[in-house]
Structure formats: structure tokens, C-alpha cells
Chain A
Amino acid sequence: MSEESKKEIDEVTGVETVGHEWDGIKELNNPLPRWWLNIMYFLILVSVIYWVLMPAWPGRHDVTHGLRNYSERVEVTKQVEAMQNARAEKAQRLLQAASLEEIENDPELFEFASALGKITFADNCAMCHGSGGQGAIGYPNLNDDVWLWGGKIEDIRYTIAHGIRSGDPKSRNSLMPAYGKAGILQKNQINDLVNYVRSLSGMDVDEEAAARAAPLFKAQCSVCHGVDGTGNRMFGAPNLTDEEWLFGGDEESIRYTITNARNAVMPNWNGRFDDATITSLAVYVHTLGGGE
């Protein structure tokens, strides 16, 4: 009672104060509107209901699961499973297809493979090969007709599944020696070779230097690149006579390639994708325009 009698009324507003004072300013005790408070009480009630129904409180080893036993992880797993089940029939048909023609002549199957291939490519391949497979220096353009390891659908599929120099036991493998770094060739020999290689695709070169390097090319390079320099897909050895240069066709780039070798790596995807997805990727890449 004595507390209550101490309650002070602010003169200006006629409102009771809470009794606190800061630098002469007194806090008024204006209550919140009733409806507002009621909403807050209601929401407190809702939160209690939520704790009962849904996962809410962390424990030492686990959390409270709530009566509904809801888990987002379980939901996502279910959805992924449902999606795979929905795809299963078409995926099966895709794997049984004997040839690319068979897939292309079945519009439904082709649509499925292209769509699946396209999203898989965008998520996994585009960071090196570009969003439309346009490639970059060191990363092959998949739209053109140059294929180091073969451009038939089976070849493309194999490359995607096992990779190039990937460490996979069935990986496509080859190793160009680093002629300069390993001390196999001298600088002037390499310089001659650069001229020779450029002469193969008809570029302007120092004819004398190129002629000097001819026997060298035959001895050192023709095993893989062929006597005429047209390459060999067995070793992934590029054709040196065409207009396509994966690492650049200027003198400096070619000199670097011969001195240090490039030996780029593509990962194997067989551990990550199922067979149907890899086939879809191969179909998609094949239809980009370069497929044989």
C-alpha cells in the first residue's frame, strides 16, 4: 500500500510515471494497447504449440523432435528419391539405347537426355568449358569439330566417365615430355621446332629454322603427333596442322608448350554421376555441334 501511495502523476500529461528518472526526465507509464498485448499472448501460446509439434529445443546429443517428427533432411531425401523414381523408366530406356540415332529418333528420350545433360553440364562442366561449352585457353571448345580423344558419342561418354589424366584406373592417359625443363632439347632446338610446328598449319615462319627441325620432329614428336603432324587420338595427341590451338598458336605459347608440356587434367565423373546422367551429358555435348 505504501508503494502505491508513492506513485507519481506527471503534471503535463496527467499520466502515471514508472518512478525512474534520468537527468530530470521521468518515464511515463503508458501501457501498450490491449489488442496488441493480446496478440503477443496469443503468439506465446502459438510458440508453445509449435514446440510440442515441431523440432524445437536442442539437447545434449539430439533435439526434441516434436509430435509431427518433421525433418527437412528426410523431406529432401524423399523428394530426391521421388525424382529418381520418376526418371527411372526413361533412364533405363536411355541406357538400353544402342546408338545415338536411336536416342535422337525418339523425341521423348532425346528431350529427356538433352534436358538432363544440359542442367548437369551447367552445374558441373560449365566452370571450365563455359556455359555453352565454348571453352577457353586450355579448356577445349566442345562446339567445334576438334576432338583430342574422339568425338563419337561412345568416345565422349568414355572421356566424361573416366576423365583425362584423372587417376581413374581407366582414365585416358598420355604424357608429353617437358622437353626444355627435362633437358631433352636445347633452347635453339626448341626454337627451331616452334617454327616447324607453325609451318605445319601454314603460318609464317623462319623457313631455315623449320627445315633444321624436321629431323628433330620426326625423332621426337612423330611417335604421337604423326609424321605429318595430324595427331593421334589414341594418345590424345592434337592435330598440329589445323587452325585450332588449345593453348594458343603464337610462338610464345608453342615454345612454352614444348618446354614445359601442358598435360591438362579432366576429372572422372563416374564416381559422381550414375550411368544415365553420364550418357545424357554425352548426348548433350554431342549435340552442341561438334559430335561425330
Chain B
Amino acid sequence: MGKVEIHTFDVDAVNSAANRQLYKSREPIYPKLAHGKFRKIKWALLFVTLGIYYVLPWIRWDRGPDSPNQAVLVDFTNGRFYFFNIEIWPDELYLLSGLLILSALVLFFVTSVFGRLWCGYSCPQTVWTDLFIAIERFVEGDRNKRMRLAQQKWNADKITKKIIKHSLWLLIAMATGGAWVLYFHDAPTILHHLFVGKAPATAYLFIGILTFTTYSLAGLMREQVCTYMCPWPRIQAAMTDSETFSIGYYFGRGEPRGKHKKNESWEGRGDCIDCKACVAVCPMGIDIREGDQLECINCGLCADACDDIMKKVGRPTGLIAYGAQYREGVKHDKRRLPNLLRGRTIFYGLLIIIVSTLMLVSLTGRSSVEVNVERNRAPAYTILSDGSVRNAVSVSILNKHNQPTDYRLTVTGDEALQIQAVGHQFEGNQLLLTVDGGDLQRIRIFFTLPKQKWADIQARDLAVEVTNVETGESVIRELTMVGKS
């Protein structure tokens, strides 16, 4: 092997519980670049998640001439949400609530099995912070250079570097806000309008807000968002247990820790050489060797850093690794794999199955026509001069197709029942109607029952059926006439 240099880092875990104080001003963290499999996964996920975020609004999806051709679009003006072949109307917003409930349950499930994978790999706060740190590293250099730069007096070099860094941050922050707006408008049009100043004021406002939040949250506040502002680290404590697959330090193997000179025996001591590489790479400023902590986002960078060192000193990797939680004072012989079938994982799993089944049923069972039969209330009934009883109702037909559709309205009731509609002519008990695409048509209909028929209670029952002439899809609404008893 020849010369292997093991660098020991002069680093304090600034957010370690021992250093915790209320009202303490933030101590800057200069995370060192880690190399290894988890870092690679993080880079890959960074590209995938940011890629989805920036590219998704540009994907086109043909829905015919009357609808927007953007695959994912929240159209507030017309009250529509488009997601590929799914189109959601305002009255179906429960589907979005369902989706949020499902997302929350999946998050609970993943957290109870794998710990805070969401925090470590796919939370926007983590992803953008990672990106901003990468830019900082690109402009100012890695940990030591950055620390030196921070200590250094303000000179041309420092000013240039800071200006470049903050400009790049601001550009990305603006792109973040800009891409957000694309989800609410036709992407190519709004992009053009943004540059020529024709976009609506809300678009500029939201770009402004998101530029500010991205810049300050990912650039300036970073780990403080997770530690102080986010409720999830608190909630996740209720999701995880000793079987949760999360990052941890293998106490049994590492302790007692201490400096190790080359060719010294490993007998009677732990594998941890106290080089603090794990602390130096940590973006949260903690020491994983103190056990599972609220600040830990489970990102695995400390495992990468430690594996690197272990290879160099010729010991097996995995001193810091994902596994069922390691506890101080418990001597595990080897890395412990978690037991997946536990009460909480089964519970969350079942809930996910139930909720997604319900959602699937309601999503596929959606009707393309919405029918409401509303009774007139003042007066609830009218007695005509010959003593016959009349009820007035408003029938509303909402056509959820994007093109005009023909509907047949059929009233079934007693044969003595007379049917009239304002502005329309019933043929027998049927009425043909054309409703424009996406339109609501309201018709006032009168049902009249002759005086002598009124005594027959069964004659008072009737049904209104609205049938799509082309597809045969139909909706039935039943009602009973009211009047003097």
C-alpha cells in the first residue's frame, strides 16, 4: 500500500446536544465533500428530482382542440387540474385531498421502515441545500478553503468569489420560482410573457416569493430549517422504533475509540480512530457517534466518509451504516438487519391499501355528467285553481366533456302526471337537450298532479333520468312530490 495518509479533522459537531443552547446564533457548517455510494445516490436523486421539477411543465399531452395540451397544469382561471390523462374539476378536489392523505401514509410507512429517507434524499429543502452547497464548493473550494476564506480579510478575491456564489444562488432561486409558475400557466406562453412583461402580476409575485425563500432557506438557513422550522423531525420520532432501518454508528465495533498509528495492533481497542471524517462531511453539524439525533436527516454521507477511512486503515467498512438502530452499551456482534413485519408497518401498509383502493374506485367511477334536482322551496307546492297540485324543481346538468353533448331527460311517474319546462317543450315525458362542453344547464320543470290523483300516495313518486344519448351513461334522481296532505 505504501504511504497512506490519514487526515484527522479539527472539527466540532456544532449542533451536538452537548453544545446545544437556547438563543445561540448559528455557527456556520462547512460540509466536506464525501465520496461513496450514498453520495452517488444523492447526486442521482438530485438530478432526477430537480429534472422532474424543471422538465415536467414542458411535457405536452394532447387532449383535443378545446383543452390545454400541457401534461401537468393547474388551471385556476377555468377551475381545472390536469395530470396526464386525468382531469380534475373543482367538485372533485377530494381526490387531491385523498392524494395528500396517501402521500402522508406512504411517508409514514417509509419512515417506519427506512427512517428519514425522505429528509436525507428527496425533501426539497435537502435537495436545494445540496445544490447550493455544491455551488459554494465549486466557487470557493472544499471545506478548508471555505473556512480560510471566511477568516480572511475582505479583498478582491474574496469579494469576487462571494459575488459569483450569491449570483449563482440567486439565479437558481429565480429559476426555481420561475419553474413553479409554469405549472399554473401554459409553459411556453408564460415564459415568453414573463420576459416581455406581459405575465400576470401574481406570476411575478410568486417568482419573487420563491426566489426569496429558495435563496434564504437553501443558501443561508440550510440545516436550521430542518432543526428549528420543520415539524417532521418531531413527528418522525413517533414513526420510528428500534427496528427502523436508519443510519447509525456501530458502538460495539467502534469503541473504545482512539488515535491509531500505522502498524499498531488493533487488539483491545475499537475500530474508530477518531478522525472525525464523519463530522466533517455532515451537513447537519452533528456527530453520528452520539447516536440517533433529532438533527440527523439520515443522508448517509458520514457512512461514505467512514468507509473511505476504514479502507485506508485496512479495516472492514460499515462502522457507520444503515441498519436497525445501534445503541450505546449494547454489543452487537454484527450489523443487525431490521424486522420488517411489525405492528406499525403492517398498520400503515393496510391503511395505504385501503386509501388507494378507495381513490382508485372513485377515480375510475367518476361520471361525465353531474345531475342535481333541486326543489323549489318558496312555495314548496302550488295549488292550481282546479285544485291540482304542482311542484317546481330546478334540474341542473353539468357536462364534464369538453365538447357539446346531447342528453335525454326522461321523467317517470304516474301516467296522469303533467310535465312542463320553462323555455323547452317536453315530448311526452322526454326532453332532448344539448349542453355545451364544460357547461352547466339549469331547467325549471313543473310537475302537476290532478286533484283526484293526489290522494294516491304512490302517484306522487317520480324519477328524473338524464342519459347521454351517445354513450348511454345515465344518472337517476328520485323525488316525491309534496303538497297539501
Contacts and interface: CB of A to CB of B under 8 A. Distances in A.
Interface of A: 104-105, 107, 110, 130-135, 141, 143-146, 239, 242-244, 287-290
B378 A243 contact: no
A244 B383 contact: yes
Interface in B368-398: 376-379, 382-387, 390, 392
Contacts of A135: 379
Given A289-B390, A289-B392, A243 B383 contact: yes
Interface residues of B, number: 16
Nearest to A107: B423
A144 B446 contact: no
A239 B378 CA distance: 24
Contact of A141 (B382, B386, B392): B382
B463 to A, nearest CB: 21
B384 A132 contact: no
Nearest to A241: B385
B379 A104 contact: no
Given A104-B423, A289-B390, A289-B446, A144 B378 contact: no
Contacts of B377: 132
A141 B392 CA distance: 14
B230 interface: no
A206 B379 CA distance: 34
Contact of B385 (A107, A130, A133, A242): A242
B422 interface: yes
Nearest to B381: A143
B385 A104 contact: no
Q: Is the interface of B mostly helix, strand, loop or mixed?
A: loop
Contact of B444 (A133, A146, A287): A287
B384 A134 contact: no
Q: Which of B378, B392, B423 has the most CB of A within 10 A?
A: B423
A289 B382 contact: yes
16 contacts: A104-B422, A131-B378, A134-B379, A143-B382, A143-B392, A144-B385, A144-B390, A145-B384, A145-B385, A146-B384, A146-B385, A243-B385, A243-B386, A244-B385, A289-B382, A289-B446
A221 to B, nearest CB: 19
Interface string B384-424: 11110010100000000000000000000000000000110
Q: Is the interface of A mostly helix, strand, loop or mixed?
A: loop
Contacts of A288: 392
Contacts of B422: 104, 287
A169 B422 CA distance: 34
Given A243-B385, A289-B446, A132 B376 contact: yes
Contacts of A132: 376-379
A130 B382 CA distance: 13
Contacts of A287: 422-423, 444
A287 B376 CA distance: 13
Nearest to B385: A242
Contacts of A130: 378-379
A239 B385 CA distance: 9
Given A244-B383, A289-B382, 11 more contacts: A104-B422, A130-B379, A131-B378, A132-B378, A133-B378, A133-B379, A144-B382, A144-B383, A144-B385, A242-B385, A287-B444
Contacts of B378: 130-134
B154 to A, nearest CB: 31
B345 to A, nearest CB: 52
Nearest to B390: A289
A107 B423 CA distance: 9
Contacts of A133: 378-379
Nearest to B441: A107
A141 to B, nearest CB: 7
Interface string B119-145: 000000000000000000000000000
Q: Which of B378, B387, B446 has the most CB of A within 10 A?
A: B378
A144 B384 contact: yes
A243 B451 CA distance: 11
B448 to A, nearest CB: 9
Contacts of A290: 382
Contacts of A244: 383, 385
A244 B376 CA distance: 21
A134 B379 CA distance: 5
A289 B376 CA distance: 11
Nearest to A291: B422
B423 A242 contact: no
Which 6 A-B pairs give the minimum distances between C-beta atoms?
A132-B378, A134-B379, A242-B385, A104-B423, A143-B382, A287-B422
B182 to A, nearest CB: 34
Interface string B135-176: 000000000000000000000000000000000000000000
A288 B379 CA distance: 10
Q: Which of B378, B379, B387, B444 has the most CB of A within 10 A?
A: B379
Nearest to B424: A104
Contacts of A141: 379, 382
A278 to B, nearest CB: 19
B385 to A, nearest CB: 4
Nearest to A105: B423
Contacts of A145: 384-385
